[in-house]
Amino acid sequence: MAQHEVDITISKTGEVKVHIKGVKGKGCLAYAKWLSELVGKVKNQQLTSEHYEPEVKAKIDLEQNLAIDE
């Protein structure tokens, strides 16, 4: 499973910087939107190279085969 990291830095003047790591594609924007609702208006936004990578979607199919020895 992918692990996501959010680094939050708060300066002495109260400026908040957030760096979202491990989220491919536009998923990072959902994190950014959620965080802006918590900390306030976005002053500047820079997209990392991860933003331009394809999103990773995992699908797990489980199948169980039972063999009965007779």
Give pLDDT tens digits for 1-35: 567 788 888 889 888 888 888 877 777 788 778 87
Residue spans per domain, the chain = 1-70
Indicate the pTM of the whole model.
Answer: 0.56
* Mean of per-residue pLDDT scores for the chain: 75
Q: How many CB atoms lie within 10 A of CB 16?
A: 15
Nearest alpha-carbon partner for 2 in 32, 27, 29: 27
CA angle, 50 as apex, 3 and 1 as ends, to 5°? 20
